[in-house]
């Protein structure tokens, strides 16, 4: 059954949003994010301080797309107001490992006694602060901050050993304000 469905997103003060055929640019005090969406049959409109996404004859598919795009835009607006922050904890019991940052590279030394250090390159737009056993990842883009935090976990992934005994690694303890 086809319905007339719309999503309205409020634009707060201090945030500028510009729409251009599926491309959304959001500017705020913390930075700027640009993202392109495949709209399909959906319509984008900006009236006053609102963004209206909708379609006159929406099916389930358009409804799903509309809700997803609306939430992405809300996350973009929230990110330019205050950055998304992920916290990670460095855990070790067998060998004391060190984590350090050299420019855009993250280096983990002495992980499980390995002689060769493990390295990771930071993506553009993510900021990392390392404080002994705690790592903080911040970014205006929620997906970028989450992926960077996940890359830290992947960097110290253990294979071929019992995970109940070898619990060394870097683990996410706080996801954008939620405790894990």
Alpha helices for the chain (secondary structure H): 60-81, 142-155
Same domain for 75 and 94, yes or no, is no
Q: Final residue of a domain: which of 52, 81, 110?
A: 81
> What domain range is 116 assigned to?
84-179
Question: Which pLDDT tens digit goes with each residue over 21-33?
Answer: 888 999 999 999 9
The answer on pLDDT for 162 being more than 90 is no
The pTM of the full predicted model, rounded to 2 decimals, is: 0.87
Same domain for 110 and 52, yes or no, is no
Same domain for 158 and 71, yes or no, is no
Domain total in the chain: 2
Same domain for 175 and 143, yes or no, is yes
Q: How confident is the model at residue 1 (pLDDT cuts 50, 70, 90)?
A: low
Do the Cβ atoms of 31 and 140 come closer than 8 Å?
Answer: yes
Same domain for 162 and 103, yes or no, is yes
Same domain for 52 and 103, yes or no, is no
Alpha helices for 7-138 (secondary structure H): 60-81
Same domain for 169 and 98, yes or no, is yes
Do the Cβ atoms of 1 and 36 come closer than 8 Å?
Answer: no
Q: Please tell me the predicted confidence (pLDDT) of residue 124.
A: 92
Question: Which pLDDT tens digit goes with each residue over 41-77?
Answer: 888 888 889 999 888 888 888 888 899 999 999 999 9
Residue 108: count other Cβ atoms within 10 Å of its Cβ: 20
Same domain for 172 and 88, yes or no, is yes
- Provide the CATH number for the domain around residue 32: 3.90.930.12
């Amino acid at each position: 059954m086809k319905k007339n469905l719309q999503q309205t997103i409020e634009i707060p003060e201090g945030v500028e949003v510009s729409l251009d055929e599926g491309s959304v640019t959001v500017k705020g005090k913390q930075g700027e994010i640009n993202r392109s969406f495949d709209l399909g049959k959906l319509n984008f409109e900006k009236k006053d301080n609102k963004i209206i996404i909708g379609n006159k004859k929406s099916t389930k598919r358009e409804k799903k797309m509309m809700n997803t795009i609306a939430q992405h835009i809300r996350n973009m607006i929230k990110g330019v107001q205050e950055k998304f922050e992920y916290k990670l904890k460095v855990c070790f019991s067998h060998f004391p490992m060190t984590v350090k940052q050299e420019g855009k590279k993250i280096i983990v030394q002495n992980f499980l006694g390995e002689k060769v250090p493990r390295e990771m390159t930071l993506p553009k737009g993510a900021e990392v602060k390392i404080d002994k056993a705690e790592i903080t990842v911040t970014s205006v883009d929620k997906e970028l901050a989450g992926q960077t935090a996940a890359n830290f976990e992947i960097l110290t992934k253990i294979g071929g050993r019992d995970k109940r005994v070898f619990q060394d690694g870097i683990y996410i303890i706080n996801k954008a304000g939620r405790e894990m």
